[in-house]
Amino acid sequence: MTTNKEMEQGKNRAYPYKGIAVSGFLMLFIQLVLAIAVFYIFSGNPSEVTGVICGLLLVAEVIMLAGYFQLEPNQVKVMIFFGRYRGTFDRTGFFWVNPFLSKKALSLRICNLDVEPIKVNDRTGNPIMIGMVLVWRVKDTYRATFDLETNSATRAGMHANFANFVTIQSDAALREVAGQYAYDDDGSSSELTLRAGGDEINDLLERKINDRLAMAGLEVVEARLNYLAYAPEIAAVMLRRQQADAIISAREKIVEGAVSMVKQALESLDRDNIVTLSDDRRASMAANLLVVLCSDDPAQPVIPTT
């Protein structure tokens, strides 16, 4: 048997508003007709009872004005009746509902958030600067309205609080993910790094942020790293390291190519019988060719005169 507590917990989620919702234009017409009728009665010589009724109608007319609202696409109204959630209204247009319903406006539109780079330590302990850009939106209107303290009744104020919550939680998730991976490796390891992780790092970051935002009814549609660099205090040292790695890699390519060219030259000399070289002469020629091909300066040929 379901208890009252279980029934209340089951209602703690967003669901469509099922109350009365009338076209706003129709209600405006009805109010206009009532206003004309009241004016017509007052223009005559109404009795005391008729005057009271007309006065009550005028009060009702004023109260009914609070029931009008309009919605654009991807906007909703969270309906609250004296503190009780009555559903989320998501139909676009001009409507009239019970004027005693409180209507909190929420936007379901996609929002961008550029998270400023923060300083964290990667898995190897190196201080790095890392930043990201988020695309987020409201997913669960109940949680966004009642589970997150917004301190504001306006849509702009609530949006600002949502953005602040997303910023704080995404900052925590970014620190967590950055601490699990190294900034870069020396090329001898196949481990995933922040610099080379690409979509894998972004997908992990997106999942981590969504896990944190789910409690407030928000979701991240996309999360991408947009800034990644070593912290200023070690940037110069790491730059020299990267330059050294690049020089070593370039030298390896140069030597590999030079050896291939020397081998091809010696084989061509032997194959075409251009000249017969002894082992000593072949070694000397190979050494000279390697010096010429691997040197950074132009070769200076020496012409024998004897």
Q: Are 162 and 144 in contact (CB under 8 A)?
A: yes
**Residue 101 has what pLDDT?**
93
Side by side, the strands of the sheet bearing 111-121 are: 111-121, 127-138, 218-230
User: Strand 111-121 and strand 127-138: pairing?
Assistant: antiparallel
Which tokens hold the place of 90? 């998501």
Alpha-carbon distance 194 to 233, whole Å? 19
| pLDDT beyond 80 at 105 | yes
pLDDT > 70 in the chain, percent: 82
φ and ψ of 224, to 5 deg = -140, 135
Instruction: Determine the residue type at 235.
Output: A
Q: Which of 172, 168, 163 is nearest to 208 (CA)?
A: 172
Instruction: Determine the residue type at 101.
Output: L
Model confidence pLDDT, tens digit, residues 141-180: 999 988 888 766 677 778 888 989 999 999 999 999 988 8
What's the CATH number of domain 111-230, 3.40.50.300, 3.30.479.30, 3.20.20.70, 3.20.20.140? 3.30.479.30
Model confidence pLDDT, tens digit, residues 175-230: 999 888 888 876 556 678 888 878 888 999 999 999 999 999 999 999 999 888 88
Q: Are 140 and 217 in contact (CB under 8 A)?
A: yes
In the numeric block, the tokens 């609250």 are attached to 80
Model confidence pLDDT, tens digit, residues 78-92: 999 998 999 999 999
List Cβ neighbours of 38 (8 Å cut-off, separation of 6 or more). Answer: 54, 57, 58, 61
What residue spans define the domains of the chain? 4-107, 111-230, 242-294
List Cβ neighbours of 265 (8 Å cut-off, separation of 6 or more). Answer: 289
Alpha-carbon distance 58 to 96, whole Å? 18
Q: Which of 306, 266, 256 is nearest to 286 (CA)?
A: 266
